[in-house]
Amino acid sequence: MNDSNKHSFESVASLEKELRYISHLIKQKGREILSNYTITPPQFVALQWLHEFGDMTIGDLSNKMYLAFSTTTDLVDRMEKSELVQRVRDEQDRRVVRIHLLPEGERIIEEVIEKRQNYLRELLENFEVAEAQELLQLLQKLHLLMK
């Protein structure tokens, strides 16, 4: 058996199915947590990108979220009205407008992420420390290969 065929159809199919189920359950739990906040799932994703990478243009945010520019503009408009973000003109190039995360947006995103991490921490109680570390390493390897 050569290397390209070393994984059986059944094992690959099972792995794909487990990853799909896990992804669905994480999304479901995330939405359950978000239901206690005034933000929508797409707003959460936008806030998460801004929290992780700092100020960005609507174009950058559109690309990261795989959304049309106009959809992202509407999303930012609503978040600006809720005082979660603010449009800021670039100091070097006044034509460039960046989206800046405001303290309320920061507070919400940090709270939601903390609750998501607490949920995962509870699940990891069923793992040995070495198992959790191995799971992390394997997921990081898979993520890297997907990039």
Cα separation, 16 vs 89, in Å, equals: 44
Residue 48 clears pLDDT 90, i.e. is over it: yes
Nearest to 111 by CA among 54, 60, 57, 38: 38
- Exposed/middle/buried for residue 75 (C-beta within 10 Å: 0-12, 13-18, 19+): buried
Least confident of 2-6, 73-77, 97-101: 2-6
Domains and CATH numbers, the chain: 11-146 (1.10.10.10)
Q: What is the pTM of this model?
A: 0.81
- CB count in 10 Å sphere of residue 102: 15
| pLDDT of 15 | 94
Name the region of 128 (left: φ>0; alpha: ψ -120 to 50; beta: rest): beta
| pLDDT of 2 | 54
